[in-house]
Homo-oligomer: A and B are copies of this chain.
Amino acid sequence: MVKKLSIADIANQLNVSKSTVSFVLNGRAEEKRISKELVNRVEKFVKEVGYTPSPIARGLRTGKSNIIGLMVESISDPFFADIAKLVESTAYKKGYRILYCSTDNDTEKTRALIEVFRERNVDGCIISPPVDVGSEINALIKAGMPVVLFDRNLPDAGADYVEINNESSAFNAIRLFIDQGFKNIAFITFSSLQTQMLGRLSGYKSAIGQEGMEAHVLEIDYNPDEDSMIKTVNEYFSKNKNIDAVLFGAVQAGICGLKALTQLGLKIPEDVAVISFDDHDVFKLFAPPITAIAQPIEEIAGRIISLLLERLNPGQSHSQSQKIVLNTEFKLRRSHVNKHLLLGKV
């Protein structure tokens, strides 16, 4: 392994003082009246040897911790685990460490964790918030802490946020079913007042309502005991044998739903056609592969970090909060197809 270069090594090689190198690297060359020629020499050398300043050392100089706190709803949810991983690797390249934690969608726990991050002196926070922590988040922002929300917004919080077009994604999925002639289209989702879940429900209802069709909504109470959620879905399909298509409102609802349909021996898409929010290995490898509304995970992670870095760089910052809404992508596989339509039975 090559020994990492220090500022002293660079100064030595260029035959200048350590403080000169340090001023150049910290953007204080002009203030310190260091010649343009010398700045160029230092920058060229640093680029050649691939020197990156130690975030901890920089933190000691700047009073910043170079640590970002990331709060997700549940780290064992594959959507959040993927986002956390991508946010972390993107931030790491920019010299930031990420510490994460799960809120379990528990307001008290979230408040306590916000305190933990504040006390630990993080530079900024990224949060997928439960519904009623708006005032805590506003207090954080007021105290000068940059905050970016994602996945769901808090209407009463003045934070930057990144989300997807939940309403139109659900609307388009239901249109895909309607246009193929499905008649009894269900929406199975988690019971939630979060904005993204309300958006998905609203998209479903608009599409169904436009056609004068009957809405069939099952809202499951999230339960860490998956078997009880599978049972709920199982009972729903057992009692509602007319359902011929279903949109699952989140990845974990989709996985529970596939387990319930498998238990019942119902064929996809012959007995029930399926689309699920979020993409997952289970959907790719299921027989038949499940059509999914994929979130642009990499773009979400990238935008979150960009928004936060803008706030962390006071020169570029501005007071108004930014809202970024990204588009989902339909992964059209085989589970949403109306086989009867293809066979001319409708």
- A positions within 8 Å CB-CB of B: 55-56, 67, 74-76, 78, 81-82, 84-85, 88-89, 92, 97-102, 104, 109, 112-113, 115-116, 119-121, 255, 258-259, 262, 280-282, 284-287
Contact = CB atoms under 8 A, between A and B. Distances in A.
15 contacts: A56-B112, A56-B119, A67-B116, A75-B88, A76-B81, A76-B85, A78-B78, A78-B81, A88-B101, A92-B109, A97-B113, A262-B285, A280-B281, A282-B282, A287-B287
Nearest to A92: B109
A258 B289 CA distance: 13
Contacts of A88: 75, 101-102
Contacts of A286: 285-287
Contacts of A99: 99-101, 116, 120
Contacts of A109: 92
Contact of A75 (B85, B259, B282): B85
Top 4 A-B pairs ranked by shortest CB distance?
Answer: A76-B85, A99-B99, A287-B287, A81-B81
Contacts of A67: 116, 120
A102 to B, nearest CB: 6
Main secondary structure of the interface of A (DSSP, over half): helix
A281 B284 contact: no
Given A102-B85, A116-B97, A284-B259, A75 B78 contact: no
Contacts of A74: 85
- What is the copy number of this chain in the assembly? 2
Contacts of A76: 78, 81-82, 84-85
A81 B92 contact: no
Nearest to A98: B101
Contacts of A115: 56
Contacts of A85: 74-76, 102
Given A76-B81, A285-B258, A100 B97 contact: no
Nearest to A56: B115
Contacts of A281: 255, 280, 282
A113 B97 CA distance: 8
Given A81-B76, A81-B78, A286-B285, A101 B102 contact: no
A148 B284 CA distance: 36
A71 to B, nearest CB: 10
Contacts of A97: 101, 112-113, 116
Nearest to A120: B120
A89 B56 CA distance: 30
Q: Which of A82, A120, A121, A285 has the most CB of B within 10 A?
A: A285
Nearest to A255: B281
Contacts of A255: 281, 285
A69 to B, nearest CB: 8
A124 to B, nearest CB: 15
